Amino acid sequence: MTTEVEAPPPAKESSPKEDGFLTLFLKNLWSANTVTVTVLSIFLALVVGAVLMVVSDSEVLAKFAYFTSRPSDALQASWDLISGAYADLFKGAFFDPASFSAWFDGTGTWQAAFGPVSETLTYATPLVFTGLAVAIAFRGGLFNIGGQGQAVMGCVFGGVAGFAFHLPPGLHLIVALLFGLIGGALWGFIPGFLKARTGAHEVITSIMLNYTATLFLGWLILQSGVQDPERSDAISKTIATTAELPALPAPLRVHLGIVLAVVATAAVAWLINRSSFGFELRAVGVNPPAAKTAGMSVARTYTLLMVVAGGLAGLGGATQVLGTADKLTAQVAGNIGFDGLLVALLGRNKPWGTLFAAILYGALRAGGNLMQVDIGISLELVTVLQALIVIFIAAPAMVKAIFQLRAARSARLGASMSKGW
């Protein structure tokens, strides 16, 4: 028996006619829709992060020892620490007023002024692709946990094509990106095909393929022909300049990849909502028996979907190598595949949501770097912040309870996310 009926709102429900636009807007804002919950989750994470910062700083903590006699000391120190840290987070991620005024005075460069945004977008670029790879698969009912392996294969294929081929500029880049896409697609095809043919669960197979891809990369960069002949450690030859993604002048690192990421987001949004394949994958995602009864091939959809998802993650890996890293190392893909899972979760498996979530992640990362250099707060705290955001987002009921939000149907992510299993 289901008893999960939301508490009925008071009977004197005001009709929409009585409300002006502003009240309606505020009402909607304060109802527990996905955007509100997401924003409040970020806010809660910052609050908890602030507490952690204070607790982990021994100097500030020492002032709390005599809190009862002079509370202003402890409060002042805490406030300085927290406000400084979050100000740095913002300055490192978006813009620093000081460097802007320096640019206008002529004492600074425009590169310095736009440095933070550039860093944010650089970190965000691969995450957009790996996030989309998780999001689109999820819309089709598959839990693609293999984004990491697919991104690594994208790095491998894109990177090798980047230094092994000798092609004119432009063409070389396109070929290298295409190779990255194919590498990822191949790594997505395997779990998709196994799922369609044998019912093997994609979570298991794609996790295993993550290890396979990472270890393959580790082996490959030590082989002659791939390894940099002038180095003895595990590092590959450098990508030919003809295959590099065009970037803004140094020291800015942001490159054409972010434009590709936006294009990919638009393409995925179109694919999901407007294409015949998108119709199939959405139907298969929520009700495979009905899709099958209506004549769709669930097996074909699963396979194709994993190929598309893998291709996206592969492109993400390729932009990392061709845009940021310029050579293959064992750690070239970093954690972009796994971060993609969180980005997709944060973006609620919607393409544009994923894009914004990736930028937020990039911002936390870029701002975290400054926080570490400037105030000496460890980068791990940024990771903790990211984790907290995800925890709050995954528990919309908790956020709603904390802020006494009115019930809205949309904030049921927790339930929908666990359906992949």
Partner 1 sequence: MRSGRGQEIPLRLELRGITKRFGDLVANDHIDITVEPGEVHALLGENGAGKSTLMNQLYGLLPPDEGEILVNGEAKVFKSPRDAIAAGIGMVHQHFMLVPVFTVAENIALGAEEIRGGPLGILDRRRNRRDVLATSTKYGLPVDPDALVEDLPVGAQQRVEIVKALTRDVDLLILDEPTAVLTPQETDELLAVMRSLAETGKSIVFITHKLREVKAVADRITVIRRGRTVATAAPDTSEDELAALMVGREVSLEVSKTPAEPGREVLKISGLVVDDDRGVRAVDGVDLTVRAGEVLGIAGVQGNGQTELVEAIVGLRAIRTGVVELDNESLAGMSTKKILRSGVGYIPEDRSLDGVVKEFSVAENLVLDMYDRPPFGNAFKLNPKAINESAAERVTQFDIRTSSASATVGTLSGGNQQKVVVAREMSRPLRLMIASQPTRGVDVGSIEFIHSQIIHERDNGTAVLVVSSELDEVVGLADRIAVMYRGRILATVSPDMPREEIGLLMAGITGAEPAGEEEAE
Task: List interacting residues with partner 1 (CB under 8 A).
Answer: 1, 3, 5-6, 8-9, 11, 13, 274-280, 282-283, 286-287, 289-297
Sign of the CA dihedral running 160, 162, 168, 170:
positive
Name the DSSP letter for residue 160. H
Q: What are the contacts of 334-338 at 24+ separation with CB within 8 A? A: 335/148, 336/126, 336/127, 336/130, 336/147, 336/148, 336/151, 337/130, 337/146, 337/147, 337/148, 337/149, 337/150, 337/151, 337/152, 337/210, 337/313, 338/147, 338/148
Place of tokens 């396109």: 174
**Of 88, 85, 92, which is closest to residue 60 (Cα–Cα)?**
85
Question: Which one, 299 or 330, has the nearer CB to partner 1?
Answer: 299
CB of 276 to partner 1, least distance (A): 4
CB of 307 to partner 1, least distance (A): 16
The tokens of 39 are what? 């924003």
Question: Which one, 325 or 413, has the nearer CB to partner 1?
Answer: 413
DSSP, collapsed to helix, strand or coil, labels residue 73 as: helix
| Separation between Cα atoms, residue 184 and residue 37, nearest integer Å | 33
Q: 68: Cβ–Cβ under 8 A, 6 or more apart, which residues?
A: none
| Separation between Cα atoms, residue 257 and residue 265, nearest integer Å | 12
| Separation between Cα atoms, residue 325 and residue 335, nearest integer Å | 14
CB of 345 to partner 1, least distance (A): 19
- Asked if 198 contacts 191 with a C-beta cutoff of 8 angstroms, the reply is no
Question: Which one, 69 or 293, has the nearer CB to partner 1?
Answer: 293
Question: Which one, 296 or 336, has the nearer CB to partner 1?
Answer: 296
Question: Which one, 2 or 69, has the nearer CB to partner 1?
Answer: 2
Question: Which one, 139 or 255, has the nearer CB to partner 1?
Answer: 139
| Separation between Cα atoms, residue 391 and residue 278, nearest integer Å | 29
CB of 286 to partner 1, least distance (A): 4
DSSP, collapsed to helix, strand or coil, labels residue 407 as: coil
The tokens of 67 are what? 């809190």
CB of 287 to partner 1, least distance (A): 5
DSSP string, 230-259: T-SSSEEEEPPGGGSPPBPSTT---BTHHH
CB of 227 to partner 1, least distance (A): 44
